[in-house]
Structures are given as C-alpha cells and as structure tokens.
C-alpha cells in the first residue's frame, strides 16, 4: 500500500497502515509528535504501537533538534543476520543440544560474561575500532562511567524481552543465523539520564507531552547527548558483532564435519538517529522501531518467535524518509498477553521450533504480535523481499 495522510498538526502524519488499526493511545502520541515546533516530517510504519513519548514504529525528521525519548531507551537496538553454507539436511532431528550450546556461549536475560570477551580470539573479528570504542567510554556522562566493568562484560550478551537468537531456514532450505539486541543496560542508563535533563530545559516546558522533550542544536546539552548517543549506537553494533562471532563459533564446533562457512553479515539499527538530507534540508532523522530502507539497503524485519522473518532490500521511498518497519509490532501489551494466553497456547503457536515454552516468555507469544505477512504487505512500496526465513531454533532471555 502507499501511505495514508492524516492532517491537522504542524506536519501531516503519513501512515503505512490503516489509521483505524492504530489504537487511541498510539494515535495521540503521533498527533502530539506532529505538533513539535522543530518537526519537518513524520512517517509511521505498519508495525506502529504505543511507546514512551513517541510511538514505536515512527520516523521523526526534525531540524536542529532531537528527542531522546523518541530514540528509545535501548539506543542502537537492531538486527544481524548471516547466511551459512549449511542446509536443512545438515541439521539434526533433535535441536535441543544446539540451543543449549548457544545459551552456554552467549549469556541471556541479565546474564553477562565472566570476563570481557577478547575480540582477538574471535575468528576473523574486525578489531580495528575496538580500542576506539572503549576510549570513547571515558567521554560519556559521569553517572554512567562507574558502570564500565559491567558494560565490558555485557558486550556480546543478548538481554531479555523481544531480543532473540535464531537458527532459521530460508525457502530453499539454506540455514541462516539471526539475532536481535541493543546497547544493553549502559544504553538504557544513558538514555534515562539525558531524558531527565531534556525534561528540565526551559524550551520544553510548554510541550503537550514532557516525554517529547528535545535537545536543540548548538547547545552543550545537545553536544553531550549526541556524544553519548553515537557511542551507545557503536556499542550496540559491537554487541551484535561479538554475539554473531560467538554464534558462528558454536556452529563451527557443532558442524565441524560440514566445514560450515558464512556469507557477509547483514546488520541494521532500528532505534537510532542519523543525519540525512531531504527536500534541501539537513535533518536529524530518528527511527524508533524502524530501519533505514534507502535504495539497495539490506535490512532485516523479524516476525515473532513462531513466525517468519524477512531479509529485505530498500526501495528508497523518500516519503517514508527511506525507512521501513523493524518487525511485526506488538498487538497487545506484555501484561495483556500474559493475561490472555496460556503456556499451552505458547506450545501450540511455537510448534516445530526448539525454544523456551514456559510462562517466563509468555509475553513473547506470536499471538501478541501483529501478523508479519500483513505488515509486509503494507510496505510493498518501501522494501522488496530478498529472503523469507522461518526459525527452527529460538533463544530468548
């Protein structure tokens, strides 16, 4: 579908979904965002749902301003995927051992490594920027600096919630590896710290929603936030790179006889800020639950723990600020999902997938998410499908 335009604010709201399908809370957030004095455009992806301040699944283009709550608290969260030389015929009938080995190699939930992962021991790991990453830590906000040891040990860990590690098959039977994670606790602490500062600034006192507080260009507060923001985005990128390297090591050990090899890794943020130019203006584009989908850009759009995911190529639709959805999007809140579904429902909806099937992940049940096929249909003018994947192993925290 092409977008539907909703007028009535400083800028029109362009929705790649039926406006009637957007719940009242999320629609209010979109309308509030569209009133910001600095906004130049708002594109809404088909996976849109209620968030903190700004909806998840929104692309906010502003001139001279950034809203830290619109970036999200998991700064730099995103996806990585890689195609392997393995096929479905190489996989054992019982995948429980493989899931166990992955969980042993990569801490999940609140877990962390006993010691920071040494990138020098990871097979062909690009270590060139690693020292620069940790040198940059010394420049981040003072309240977070004492967290360095934890940040080091969390690098290469999964986290909880909708974060995942999966072994998937494409429609030709090729095996893919896919994972989803972000900047872990250090990114959240940086986000919370700066959101608190933004809310106290004089120019934000008249906003319709204090969670939409912004930093303005050429101010010390903006400079400090952008320093920490870009550092956290790099940390999130390295977190996924280390995890992918550890995951590949597991596959090499488990499929030694097959001599597994890997193609190039596809990686994309979906909670971040980028400096981009549209209609002759230099803008700060915030994607909160959205990926960049410029012409030819490769991206990843996951479903849920029991449904398909997609490797996509961007079509470069500037009306959407060269963006696409970051996933299926939640249909109901975590608490509502726990009330509505049972463990038996989870078992049924993840049939054929080697994964957790207990009350601890009930809020991640496929039924709590929008149908991924519908989401993909609604953004046919944003991306084209390169590969359709279906998981056979799913790891969650």
Q: Does 271 show up as a binding residue in the annotation?
A: yes
Q: Does 164 show up as a binding residue in the annotation?
A: yes
Q: Does 394 show up as a binding residue in the annotation?
A: no
Q: Does 166 show up as a binding residue in the annotation?
A: yes
Q: Does 303 show up as a binding residue in the annotation?
A: yes
Maximal C-alpha separation, the chain: 65
Report the 10 Å Cβ neighbour count for 224: 17
Q: Does 257 show up as a binding residue in the annotation?
A: no
Whole-angstrom Cα distance, residue 316 to residue 318? 6
Q: Does 304 show up as a binding residue in the annotation?
A: yes
User: What is the DSSP secondary-structure string of 184-226?
Assistant: HHHHHHHHHHHHHHHHHSGGGTT-S-GGG--EETTSHHHHHHH
Q: Does 329 show up as a binding residue in the annotation?
A: yes
Cα 394 to Cα 162, 309, 327: the distances in Å are 11, 12, 16
Tell me if residue 203 is catalytic: no
Q: Does 163 show up as a binding residue in the annotation?
A: yes
Q: Does 204 show up as a binding residue in the annotation?
A: no
DSSP label of 282: E
Kindly tell me the sign of the dihedral angle through the C-alpha atoms of 305, 311, 315, 321. Answer: positive
Q: Does 326 show up as a binding residue in the annotation?
A: yes
Of the listed 113, 269, 326, 340, which one is catalytic?
A: 326
User: What is the DSSP secondary-structure string of 287-344?
Assistant: EESEEE--TT-EEEE---TTSEEEEEEE---GGGTSEEESSS-BSS-HHHHHHH--HH
User: Which pair of tokens denotes residue 25?
Assistant: 């809370």
Q: Which residues pair with 167 in a beta bridge?
A: 177, 393
Q: Does 13 show up as a binding residue in the annotation?
A: no
Q: Does 396 show up as a binding residue in the annotation?
A: yes
Tokens 């906003």 label which residue?
207
Q: Does 371 show up as a binding residue in the annotation?
A: no
Print burial letters for 263-298: b (CB count within 10 Å at least 16), e (below 16).
eeebbbbbbbbeebeeeeeebbbbbbbbbbbbeebb
Q: Does 222 show up as a binding residue in the annotation?
A: no
State the binding site for Mn(2+): 74, 163, 180, 270
Return binding residues.
74, 162-166, 180, 270-271, 302-305, 309, 326-329, 396
Catalytic residue numbers? 326
Q: Which residues are annotated as a binding site for GMP?
A: 162-166, 270-271, 302-305, 309, 326-329, 396
């Amino acid at each position: 579908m092409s977008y539907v335009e909703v007028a009535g604010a400083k800028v029109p709201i362009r929705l790649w979904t039926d406006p009637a399908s957007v719940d009242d809370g999320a629609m209010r957030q979109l309308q509030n965002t569209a009133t910001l004095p600095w906004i130049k455009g708002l594109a809404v992806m088909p996976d849109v749902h209620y968030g903190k301040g700004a909806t998840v699944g929104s692309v906010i283009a502003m001139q001279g301003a950034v809203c830290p709550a619109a970036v999200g608290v998991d700064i730099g969260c995103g996806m990585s995927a890689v195609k392997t030389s393995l096929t479905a015929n190489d996989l054992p009938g019982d995948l429980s051992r493989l899931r166990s080995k992955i969980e042993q190699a990569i801490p999940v939930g609140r877990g962390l490594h006993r010691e920071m992962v040494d990138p020098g021991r990871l097979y062909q790991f690009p270590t060139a920027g690693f020292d620069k990453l940790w040198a940059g830590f010394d420049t981040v906000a003072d309240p977070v600096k004492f967290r360095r040891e934890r940040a080091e040990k969390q690098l290469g860990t999964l986290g909880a919630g909708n974060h995942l590690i999966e072994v998937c098959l494409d429609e030709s039977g090729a095996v893919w590896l896919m994972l989803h994670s972000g900047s872990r606790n250090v990114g959240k602490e940086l986000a919370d710290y700066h959101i608190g500062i933004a809310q106290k600034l004089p120019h934000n006192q008249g906003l319709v929603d204090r969670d939409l507080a912004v930093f303005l260009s050429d101010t010390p507060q903006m400079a400090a936030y952008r320093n920490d923001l870009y550092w956290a985005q790099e940390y999130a990128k390295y977190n996924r790179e280390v995890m992918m390297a550890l995951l590949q090591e597991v596959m090499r050990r488990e499929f030694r006889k097959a001599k597994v090899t890997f193609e190039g890794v596809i990686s994309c943020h979906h909670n971040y800020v980028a400096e981009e130019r549209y209609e002759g203006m230099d803008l700060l584009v915030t994607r909160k639950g959205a990926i960049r989908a410029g012409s030819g850009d490769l991206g990843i759009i996951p479903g849920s723990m029991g449904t398909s995911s997609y490797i996509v190529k961007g079509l470069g639709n500037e009306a959407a600020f060269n963006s696409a959805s970051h996933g299926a999007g939640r249909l109901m809140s975590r608490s509502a999902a726990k009330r509505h579904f049972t463990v038996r429902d989870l078992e049924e909806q993840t049939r054929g997938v080697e994964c957790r099937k207990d009350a601890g992940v009930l809020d991640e049940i496929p039924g709590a998410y929008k149908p991924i096929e519908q989401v993909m249909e609604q953004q046919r003018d944003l991306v084209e499908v390169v590969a359709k994947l279906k998981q056979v192993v799913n790891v969650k925290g």
